[in-house]
Amino acid sequence: MCDEDLRLALRMSDEDFNYLLNEIKEKITRQDTFMKESFTAKERLLVTLRFLATGDSFLALSNYSDISASSIRNIIPEVCDSLIKALKHYVKFPSSEDEWLQVSRQFEERWQFPHAIGVIEARHVKIRKPANGGSEYFNYKSFCSIVLLAIVDASSNFMYVCIGGKGSLPDGGMSRNASFHAKFEQDELNVPPPTALNDRYTCKIPYMLLGDKSFVFTEYCIRPFGGHHSPDSVESKFNARLSTARTPAKIVFDGLCRRFKILGSIINLHPDKAGIVVMATVYLYNFLRRDKTFGEIVADAKGVPDSSYILPRIENKPLKPSSQMINIRLQMANCMAGESND
């Protein structure tokens, strides 16, 4: 794959490539020695982007360049780490109540779901079995993986990522151990206080993440009604609305996997370094599509099958929600069903 083919595969302009190179050049440049000339920053960035875009082995990548496979193994995590630091402002939570409310309005306008402030989703990425402690990464599908946990906005941008959870850990367990959990629990993220959905209902509804049945039902994360319900019931209609509103997560994961084929391979690195590689794809993804409109994002995702690269989630038995949250979900369901009947 030549430089031009690589940039087309990533849909990266010359301007973007040069921006990235200038941002990390100083950090990834190495001094020449008396024995040999060091690889240039451009060579290091190119071989890393090839790895992310193609998922090729280190040996195959060495055939594209004058860099040995062993050197490539060391170069890739270093360059990925520098890319993450250079692009750190491209993946972040809203910083104020007004910014959270803007996210919520976009969910209501685009996906017809009120009081949503993000979609929470987790997927498994294949890795090489670690030399020690491999059983902790061994999941129920009988392969080793690390977990990519993400929170996505209404426009299918990553707002938060947590990577590196061991494959044997269920989604709900990883979310409870992720850094965002304590911040939501301790009200440190400036999320707006609960408010009524409209004048008809006085029950105050929190602003919540949209989860599926594998996530814990809390004051900041709502999930579907369990069990079987008739198609015309408020529970069934609510579940359908919630499922549709979770579409941004499908768009973002499918887009991530199409652009970075490494996610369809077994990452042949130690889990910590594999996590750095996966994290770099997330930051690059937000960076490369930063100027896209919502219409372009949705159009780009049409006809795309479910991701075959990142494997199915591991689901756990969820904790029993509080009676207050059960009542809040039912109030939401009745309110939303009432709106659809008007």
- Residues 6 or more apart whose Cβ sits within 8 Å of residue 306: 250, 254
Question: pLDDT at residue 311 above 70?
Answer: no
Other Cβ atoms less than 10 A from the Cβ of 205: the count is 18
Q: What is the pLDDT of residues 204-254, one digit of tens each?
A: 899 999 999 888 888 999 999 988 889 889 999 999 999 999 999 999 999
Query: Which of 95-99, 297-301, 313-317 bottoms out in mean pLDDT, i.e. has the lowest?
Result: 313-317
Q: From CA 224, how far away is CA 153, in angstroms rounded?
A: 19
Instruction: Calculate the CA dihedral of residues 158, 257, 182, 244 and round it to 10 degrees.
Output: 70
> Which residue did the predictor score with more confidence, 80 or 199?
80
pLDDT band at 135 (very low <50, low <70, confident <90, very high): confident
- Arithmetic mean of pLDDT, 8-13: 79
Q: What is the pLDDT of residue 181?
A: 82
Q: What is the pLDDT of residues 137-158, one digit of tens each?
A: 777 677 888 889 999 999 999 9
DSSP code of 313?
P
The token pair that represents 209 in the structure block: 């993440």
Q: What is the pLDDT of residue 287?
A: 96
> Which residue did the predictor score with more confidence, 312 or 322?
322
Residue position matching structure tokens 């939303």: 336
Q: From CA 213, how far away is CA 316, in angstroms rounded?
A: 9
Side-chain half-sphere CA neighbours of 251 within 13 A: 24
Q: Nearest to residue 83, comparing CAs of 165, 35, 149, 17?
A: 17
Residue position matching structure tokens 């059960």: 326
| Per-residue CA distances from 305 to 141, 229, 258, 302, 311 (Å) | 21, 27, 11, 9, 13
Q: How many residues does the chain have?
A: 342
Q: From CA 6, how far away is CA 8, in angstroms rounded?
A: 5
Q: Domain map of the chain by residue range? A: 3-88, 91-339
Q: What is the pLDDT of residue 308?
A: 47
Query: Which of 4-8, 61-65, 293-297 bottoms out in mean pLDDT, i.e. has the lowest?
Result: 293-297
- Arithmetic mean of pLDDT, 282-289: 95
Question: pLDDT at residue 299 above 60?
Answer: yes
Question: pLDDT at residue 332 above 50?
Answer: yes
- Residues 6 or more apart whose Cβ sits within 8 Å of residue 121: 149, 150, 152, 212, 246, 249, 253, 313
Q: From CA 266, how far away is CA 264, in angstroms rounded?
A: 7
| Ranges 86-95, 213-222, 300-309, most confident | 86-95
Bridge-partner residues for 122, per DSSP? 149
Q: What is the pLDDT of residues 99-128, one digit of tens each?
A: 999 999 999 999 999 999 999 998 889 999
Q: Nearest to residue 211, comparing CAs of 183, 249, 263?
A: 249
Q: What is the pLDDT of residues 167-203, one digit of tens each?
A: 666 655 556 667 788 888 888 999 999 998 877 777 8
Q: From CA 68, how far away is CA 216, in angstroms rounded?
A: 46
Question: pLDDT at residue 257 above 70?
Answer: yes
Contact 77, 273 (CB under 8 A): yes
> Which residue did the predictor score with more confidence, 335 or 157?
157
Instruction: Tell me which H or E stretch contains 241.
Output: helix 234-245
* The model's pTM: 0.89
